[in-house]
Each structure stands twice: as C-alpha cells, then as structure tokens.
Structure 1
Amino acid sequence: MSSSKSKISLTNPSIPLNSLILVTGCNGLLASHVADQLLAAGYRVRGTVRNPNKCSYLTSLYSHRHGGPGKFELVEISDVTAPNAWDDAVKGVAGIVHCVGATDLTIQEPDSAAKEELEWQVGLLEAAKRAGTVKSFVFTSSAWALWMPDASKKVTLTEQSWNEDAVALARDKNVDPKTKGMAGFMALKTLVEQGVWEWVKREKPGFAFNTVLLDTVLGECLDPKNQGIPSTPGMVHWIWENKHMAIIDLMEPQWFVDCVDMAKVYVAALASSPKVDRERLFVFGERYSFKEVARLLGEMFPERKEKFGQPKKEGWDQTEVPNQRAEELLKRVGQKKGWTGLEESVRANAESILRLEREGGTGAPQSTYAR
C-alpha cells in the first residue's frame, strides 16, 4: 500500500532553519515524533527527559535517521516541579514544543491537581518569557478538554468548546466516584488548558502561542525496542495480544490522528508562514473505533486473526470537529493529500509491533509526565 505521507518541508519559515527548538518529554510517543519531524525539517532539537542515561538511545536514533550527530541533544529535568526547573533548558531556544503533562487517569480531585500542575506548566511559560529568544510556543492539550466522547450523541465542537460536563461531574460530591469514569482526568485537562490560556491573556508574551488538541494517536513507534509500544498505539498492541480488553471496551468510538501527521502539524504551528498564533488546533484526522481497528488487523494478518482480541463496543462517532485548519497546516508543510487514513495508520502500528517481536526489548519505562 502506498503511503500518503511525504517529507516535511517549510517555505519561508517564521523560525529560521537550524534554530534550536526545545521539545519536552522527548522519550514519550508524541515528543519523539515531533523531534523527528523538526530534525527532518532542518532544525536542531534539545529534548528534555527525566533520566538521560535511560534515554541515550534517542541520540543514536536521531543521529541514524538524520545524518550524523550534533543536531540533537538531551537535557535532564528530573523534577518539573522544582523552582526554576526549566531555566537552563530554555537558554538559546527559538521555539518550544511542550508535550509533558500528567497522565494519571484515576484523578478524582481535578481542582487541586490542576492547581499543582499549573504551577510547573506556567513555570515553563515564564521561563520562556524571561529567556527573550523564544518566538513560538506550542502546548499539548487533549480532545478531552473539549467534550466527553459519546458515539450515540451528535455534537458540534468549536474553538470555544470546553468540557464543562466533565468538570461538573468530577466536582459533584453526590455522585459515587466509582461511576465517574475518567471525568476527573478530563476535567484536569480542561482546567489546565484554561489556566495556560489565562496566563497568556494576562501576561501577553511576545511569542506566538497555540494549543494542540489531540484525540487518540495511532501509527508508527520510532524505536519499539527501547520505547515499547507506548501511549494509545499500545492499545492496538493490547488487541494484538488479546490483553486488557475490558479497558478497550470502555473506549468510545471517536477520532484519531496518525503519529506522523500529528508531529507535522506541531512543526507547522510552531514555525510555518504565515505565523500561527493564539489558536486551538483540532488535530483530528478521521473517525475510528477499536472494533474497526481489530477488523483491519484481521484483514491484514489473517493468519493471526483468531488470536486478536475482539472489542465489543459498537457505534461510530457523530461528532463534528473543526479540523480543517489543522489539515491546512499539514498540507502547508508538504503533505498535500491531507490526513493519513485509519488503514495506513493501523498498518504502521502493526509493523511497529512486529519490530518489537523481532528485536525484543520491553521498552524504556515511560515517565509519569511523558505522553
């Protein structure tokens, strides 16, 4: 099957090529792809991790993929909550892509959790403002900051949408916490994104600022031996191995985006021309369900079909999302066909699983804060 992807390219970028870009949480799925696309576009990258020794494979990976050493460096931030934790990392950088956020799905008290998280999220924004060299900042938010997915409901989302339903449910003391599902985590994502926008409105930094709203991410993992199959591509791995299917069956049909598409939109939001500023970008490619993912896997690998888990959740998402702007940015950096389809992303996901089986390795432990 031919790929709809093409090499990233920037015309008259708003941040000059060969500038240094900071990418936080670089061992995570999202950030590792963003760093990869920044390097492919012609930038230098400084990646933050909690433990550089455990993540040294990234230096070798990017050196191999992008023509030798010197374009990528790792820096340690062992505690993002420490005072001035980001000051050294932001020195001399022209742009920041921030991919770090709490990932505890069991949060029950979103207000206190958001207050704690915003202290260090805002800490990076303030460090960027003090640095004086930063031209653009892209912040990773979540589709769950917008709404509670429900395939049975027709919903139209806009840039003004916030997941107030999750916030209200999470705060409601009259509802049994066991019945709230992931409302607490969704509320946290909502409150944190609102908090960073409040900071931007109040402080009026001189750099461009945008948030990326991500739904499920599927597709290739760059280094399965060291990363494993992390984040939501790991759920495809669960279907492959028929594990954790009870969790899969909790997931509503919704939208997904391919890993590489996602990373290219980050680069476009950060550095393309005309400059992108003060936007919430809906990085949603196509609708999907895990039932459809399992069906596609069965078609691609009929000899394994009987071993795959079979999700029970029926339905198809009916949400309308304003993803045209993000697709425009994807095309702006060279991917003229637009979003990658579900079949191609599932195949890339499966090929990463096969690589993991061939090469072995359990994958590096993922940080609490790496997405």
Structure 2
Amino acid sequence: MTQIAPIVLVTGINGFLGSHTVEALLSHGYRVRGTHQHSHDPQCLLRNRPSWNGKVEMIHIPDHRVPNAYDEVIQGVDYVIHVAAEVHSNGETPGIDPHHTLAVSIKGTENALNAALKEPKVKRFVYISSDAALKGPKNYNGDGYVFTEKDWNPLSLQDAEASNDEGLNYTVCKKLGEQTVHKFQTIHKPHFQVIALNPPLILGPVFHLESVKHLSFSAWFFWQLINGRYENAPKTEFYNYVDVRDLAKAEVLSLTADTKEPRVIICAGDLDNDKIVNAIITRFPQFQEKIAKPNGLPSTCDYQIDASLSKSALGLQYRPHEETFYDTAESLYRLSGFVE
C-alpha cells in the first residue's frame, strides 16, 4: 500500500525564502500547500518553476492579519512552516513605526498558531525568526562575546519607540515576534512542537522574481556590490550569513528532527564585503568594471555566533561560501539581463 506523503503548509511562498522552502520540501517528497499575498504571484512562480504545476497548492491570503485567516487552509495539514512576514525591497524601509511592523508580524503569527491549534494533525510548527532576536543591532555583551540560543536582544518596545533607527526597530520587532511564539507554547501547551530558526543575512540564488526591481533586502545588498554602484566596497555592516538553500534544508529537517530545542541558530559563518567581491571577480571577470574593488578594511566584528546546535540537533551541513556567492551573483546577473 502506497503511503501518502505529509502535507506542509508554507506561508509566504511568493518570497525569497518561501520559494526555496517549497523547492526543498518537494525534493524531500512532501506535498506542499502555500499561501501568497498577491493574486498574480502563482503565475510568476510557475513561469520560473513549471515543475511546481500540479504539485503545489497555492492559496491567496491577501492579509494574514485578518482573524482566522489560516483556519481553512490549515485543514488536513501535518506541518507548518511560517515564513510570511512584512519585508521591504531594494533597500526601501518599511517605515519607522515599530507598532505597525510588530502588529503585522504578531497578528499573522498568532493567526497561524491558533489555526494550528484547531487542526489535530499538525505535529510541528517551524517559525522563521532572525539572529536580530538574539543580539539586537549591535553587540551589547562585550568584545569577543559568543551568541547562542540562550541569548535575547536586550532592547524593548520602549527603546524602539524612543528611536528613529530603522535597524533598531527591526531587531526589537523580530525579538517580540519570536517571543510571541514561545509565549503561545507556554500558555496553550499545544499538541504540536514549536521550533524557531534564527538566521542572519540570507543570501543565495533568486528565482521567484522576473527582474531585479523588487529584490529582498539581502539580495539587494549583494547586488549593489556587483552592479556598478560602488567603485570600492563600502565598510562591512553585516557580519554573518546563511545560504537560503541551507536555511530551507534546515526547515525541512526541523519537521522531523529528534529534538526538543525551542530555537536553533542557522548560520554558515562570517561575512565581509571584500570576501564577496574577491570571490565574484574570480568567477565573473567579464564584469570586473561592475564589481566593487576590495576596500582592504579589517573586520570590525566584535562577536561570534555559535551555530553548532544546527549541526548536532538538526544534522545540517553548510555549503562553501564560494558556492553561495557564485550562485547569488549568477542569478542576479541573469535577472538583470547581463547573462543568458
């Protein structure tokens, strides 16, 4: 008798991570039901991934903040991967009001959790958080500090209210959004386990778009280094990264891993802008006039991130940074029309 594959609900399949999540699930034999925000998203996704046709059920949820938004789509689902979140593209900021950003994040997450509570088949709920929930916009713990899953960003909503700093507001919202998930589990003691994954900057190939006009922030950041904007690479401000495909693999592993860990850091290693441009100029010498020259500045990172739990608890292995950088650049050059 043929065993029917489990169904995984993926919220936000129209995004950078969501699209790779679907790819990873399909490659591991899962059935996928995905939600998307815009009615035209399925057409774009299927043009870029025709193999999804007939394999991925796509459901339009224009506003996941609406009460009971996920109640129907979660029926019969075995696992949930909650990726959907408010994002901004091409370096644009989503606004400096932390209350708005927080409300969007928390309402959607609470709706997904409450829906899962009503579906007895759900076994695990994987929530995508951020390393911003661990450390905030900077290291408040002293030079050389090693961040682990036990750490929490020390900033509060009051700190965000008193600041016009977009980065600070973002980190506070990520922290409070994730704490909503853990608080839900403590209060409701659901029949399913909740696991939060905490990645840093997410890089990797882009296939969910048809141009470079609406890149996610991480892809936009990378694109600026190789598209002719800079003569010299700017000072590094993002010190860690993960490949989107490795993060998607971590999501899949989290569904069935023999672990009770409530949160797991997903991080491939350190990052600096010179490391990126040196790798890209080697692989794409034809674009040397577009690729920023190394700045030669030493790293100012004063902390480390311990991602060993992702290997021991989930069995995750990370690909080399060169592969991540090469594939990211190739996909962006293709989207821009620079290569076929």
Q: Distance in 2 between matches of 1:249 and 1:169?
A: 28
Which residue matches 2:114?
Answer: 126
Deviates more, 1:352-361 or 1:131-140: 352-361
- Whether the 8 Å contact between 1:43 and 1:71 is mirrored in structure 2 is no
Does 1:309 pair with 2:292?
yes
Does 1:135 pair with 2:118?
no
Q: Shift of residue 26 of structure 1?
A: 0.3
Task: Report the CA distance shift for 1:154/1:109 in structure 2 as closer, same or farther (over 3 A).
Answer: farther
Which residue matches 1:351?
Answer: 330
Q: Distance in 2 between matches of 1:138 and 1:123?
A: 14
Q: Structure 2: which amino acid aligns with 1:170?
A: A
Q: Distance in 1 between matches of 2:294 and 2:171?
A: 23
Does 1:284 pair with 2:271?
no
Q: Distance in 2 between matches of 1:242 and 1:102?
A: 29
Does 1:73 pair with 2:57?
yes
Which residue matches 1:198?
Answer: 183
CA offset digits 1:115-144 (Å, max 9, x no partner):
553233111100110122211110010111
Unaligned 5+ residue runs, structure 1?
1-15, 333-337, 362-371
Alignment RMSD (CA, Å): 3.0
Which residue matches 1:321?
Answer: 305
Q: Structure 1: which amino acid aligns with 2:105?
A: E
Q: Distance in 1 between matches of 2:202 and 2:54?
A: 29
Q: Shift of residue 220 of structure 1?
A: 1.5
Task: Report the CA distance shift for 1:40/1:299 in structure 2 as closer, same or farther (over 3 A).
Answer: same
Unaligned 5+ residue runs, structure 2?
none
Which residue matches 1:369?
Answer: none
- For 2:229, which of 243, 246, 253 is the aligned residue? 243
Q: Structure 2: which amino acid aligns with 1:49?
A: H
CA offset digits 1:37-88 (Å, max 9, x no partner):
0000000101100124333232455442x6xx43211100011111211111
Q: Structure 2: which amino acid aligns with 1:327?
A: K
Q: Shift of residue 268 of structure 1?
A: 0.3
- Whether the 8 Å contact between 1:157 and 1:320 is mirrored in structure 2 is yes
SS in structure 1 of the partner of residue 26 of structure 2: helix
Percent of aligned pairs with the same amino acid: 25
Does 1:298 pair with 2:286?
no
Q: Distance in 1 between matches of 2:262 and 2:125?
A: 11
CA offset digits 1:291-328 (Å, max 9, x no partner):
32122212222232232234756415342323112124
- For 1:41, which of 15, 28, 43 is the aligned residue? 28
Q: Shift of residue 168 of structure 1?
A: 6.2
Q: Distance in 1 between matches of 2:73 and 2:243?
A: 29
Task: Report the CA distance shift for 1:250/1:46 in structure 2 as closer, same or farther (over 3 A).
Answer: farther
Pairs aligned (count): 330
Q: Shift of residue 113 of structure 1?
A: 4.2
Task: Report the CA distance shift for 1:58/1:192 in structure 2 as closer, same or farther (over 3 A).
Answer: same
CA offset digits 1:219-267 (Å, max 9, x no partner):
2223453686534123221212133899x84752411111111110010
Higher normalized contact order (CA 8 Å, seq sep 6+, divided by chain length): 1
Which residue matches 1:222?
Answer: 207
Task: Report the CA distance shift for 1:344/1:303 in structure 2 as closer, same or farther (over 3 A).
Answer: same
Which residue matches 2:9?
Answer: 22
Task: Report the CA distance shift for 1:160/1:167 in structure 2 as closer, same or farther (over 3 A).
Answer: farther
Matches within 5 A, 1:162-201: 162-165=152-155, 169-171=159-161, 173=162, 177=164, 180-201=165-186
- Whether the 8 Å contact between 1:211 and 1:280 is mirrored in structure 2 is yes
SS in structure 2 of the partner of residue 42 of structure 1: coil
- Whether the 8 Å contact between 2:33 and 2:56 is mirrored in structure 1 is yes
SS in structure 1 of the partner of residue 171 of structure 2: helix
- Whether the 8 Å contact between 1:149 and 1:254 is mirrored in structure 2 is no
Q: Structure 1: which amino acid aligns with 2:19?
A: S
Q: Structure 2: which amino acid aligns with 1:138?
A: V
Deviates more, 1:212-221 or 1:103-112: 103-112
Does 1:146 pair with 2:131?
no
- Whether the 8 Å contact between 1:150 and 1:253 is mirrored in structure 2 is no
Task: Report the CA distance shift for 1:119/1:223 in structure 2 as closer, same or farther (over 3 A).
Answer: closer
- For 1:339, which of 318, 329, 332 is the aligned residue? 318
TM-score normalized with structure 2 length: 0.86
- For 1:211, which of 177, 192, 196 is the aligned residue? 196
Q: Structure 1: which amino acid aligns with 2:75?
A: K
Q: Distance in 2 between matches of 1:359 and 1:27?
A: 24
TM-score normalized with structure 1 length: 0.79
